[in-house]
Structure 1
Amino acid sequence: MDVRREGWLSSGGEVSLSDVHRTVSVKKDSSRLRRALAFFGPGYLVAVGYMDPGNWATSLAGGSRFGYTLLVVALVSNIMAIVLQSLCARLAVASGRDLAQACRDAFPRPVAYGLWFLAEIAIIATDIAEVIGTAIGLNLIFCIPLELGVIVTALDVFLILYLQRLGFRWLEAFVMALLGIIAVCFAVQIALADPDWGGVLRGFAPTTEIITNPDMLYLALGILGATVMPHNLYLHSGIVQTRAYGETLEERREALRFATLDSTIALMFALLVNASILILAAAAFNGTGRTGIAELGEAHSLLAPLLGMAIAPTLFGIALLCCGINSTVTATLAGQIVMEGFLHIQLAPWLRRLITRGIAIVPAAGVTLLYGDSGTAQLLILTQVVLSLQLSFAVFPLVMFTADRRKMGELVAPMWLIGLAGLIAVVIAGLNVKMIIDFLG
């Protein structure tokens, strides 16, 4: 028996993302460098989720209110993300399952359905953030009203379907191109803001104030939820399997090394973008006494007078729009993985996308109509806290699976990695419990 099929309650014979499963070839007779490059791509799709519009709201609020203090939260969150995403790649390569399939196969049906429900809530929260962020980006650049922009975001399904027809590599290339645009936009804005680099370095040092100050903890958890996102754990464990890496133990070991390297490099890039958002907010807003900035539209309008360049708000809007478009791609794939993996229900991609986007549009449109920009800012931060609260329900199963030799075979995670991942899971759960206690108190 294939060792990767032992230790599960059910056999689970279907593959993840069947339409693109093993479609990216890895030539065994090519050089080591070419084989490594064949694995580069999925990590950047995962990295998109670590810099989505919801992250912008929490980073802007944190930077404008507390200066550079919360940079350490972005750093620690990114380290957590690197560890957890490496476990996702390990689960996929070792067991041939994505996280949703693994949960369905390993747990009794009521538990699996409960985890599916929580995963769907996380994806809806993610989609709400993307709807609002994309609508604000359209408003900032093209002056499209927010209410109309929210509706227009439903049309992104056609872009995603077109890219998928071209091939998965085209989808990855599109995402990476937009990430490059985002990086250039922030590099220019940071140069214009001229931050206190000494303060930036001190911001990466830990402080107990983050735990003892409830307001700071709330934003810190928002940053955590926006960085280590539940749907990314499901996503990565599925898209790693788009590579045709072979079945021998040595081939799978090599695939695991290259997939981990890919995600680590991509997440370090995501850290640079996330830190740039917070640094920009701290330098442009906190440094000038504007400590209440949390709305993307307000931040956009203030950048020109504060930085003295008319191009600054345009670059901000372009980067935001690129983030919103990119995030829709990853949310679509994650939604497909979660529904097919947990429920074994396959829907047409356009139908699945319209359903999830429709669910997200309703609350986003309602808040926009009733409260305008201020309401959307609060909703963005709330979605990230919801994601943080959902995170433990994806992290604990992931750690359990990758620590089980019966399920993972020779590629079971080493004890030091499981210990570190377990500590991360406990810290996330503990911080969430504290936030709930503070909120009720």
Structure 2
Amino acid sequence: MRILVVGSGGREHAICWKISQNRNVEKIFCAPGNGGVSLLEKGENVDIKGVDSLLQFALENKIDLTIVGSEELLVDGIVDRFKEAGLKIFGPDKKSALLEGSKSFAKDFMKKYGIKTAEYATFTKADKAKEYLNNCKYPIVVKASGLAAGKGVIICQDKLEANKAIDDIMVDKIFKDAGNEVVIEEFLEGVEASILSITDSNIIVPFISAKDHKKIGEKETGLNTGGMGTIAPNPYVTKSVYENFITDIMNPTLEGIKKEKMDFAGFIFFGLMITEKGVYLLEYNMRLGDPETQVVLPLLESDFIDILNSAMDKKLNECHIKWSNKNACCVVVASGGYPKEYKKGYEINGIDKINDLVFIAGANEKDGKLYTNGGRVLNIVALGNTLDEARKKVYSEIENIDFEDKYYRKDIGILYK
């Protein structure tokens, strides 16, 4: 098999690493890829972007399967275009991708199918959104409706902060066109959980749970990022929490997919909030999460390609997915200054000293050396019989990594509640 993985982050490196374990996989192209993929025995980066260029490459290189890592191209309809050309591609079509591409569409979908979620209102005019704030309970959440690279959510403690958030998003366009519409949402107090899953539109099969650490600072302080680390399984996803997720969120989501005639084979990421009042759905992502993928896939004992093929053949109900009973911890090592401004081009040393897994995110390879090229530079992942064991292994490994101005959180996996 010749496989094309679309994307450039740590998630894509982890996907390429996992599918390279299948003996039938001959070659893995990653577009545009990163320095980690190019170091895989079967991996090769291809510097192409955009649906048209990717489609042409897939046809010319006889690609057997394309896996889309990033969300923008799914929303742009890459799956529809590939299928029209007779190519196999894993992911939602343009219609189904709206569950991630538009928060207002997703919230309306949740409301229509009785999926447990926070109260909300949507607005396309800043003045109307500000009027709504007069009758809100605080804190409140203001979200850019479109894609904002995981950063379009602002928690506002009072009306003054909420007004500023609306100006930032809708007037100053800090998230560009993603802010043409906003969702103002009830604030939920609790602990977040991530459940990745796979669907063939007949059933949804959840993966092992994970917990993301979104804030830049320890004890979940500071700005939102794309994620500074993850653990799996999530200790807060107890048996009762899981059962509530299945009953109140996953099953009605599947009902909605069927009734809306969304027919695809792909991933669904359920972003959950576990509260004293129950388990709520915060959002859908219609692809694997980052950095959740980096901590979940190392626990997967079944063959990843076999699972994807089962979904595309509409035989997911016949597929038994086996998971390790170990714990995993992933810590993101970032460039100083992230998620704001940061410098690139620093040489990365010490990766050869790491005994556990390293997934490259924002780094380029040149003449056998790696150089920083992004905010989140790399992920170190370790497995252990306990969460504490996995954490200790990761943090002992991080000391080996050296590049100028490196930054990482020292509390990934610490349970504060």
**TM-score, length basis structure 1:** 0.24
TM-score, normalised by the number of residues in structure 2? 0.25
Bigger strand share: 2
Question: Which one has a larger percent helix, Structure 1 or Structure 2?
Answer: 1
- Structure with larger RCO (C-alpha < 8 A, sep 6+): 1
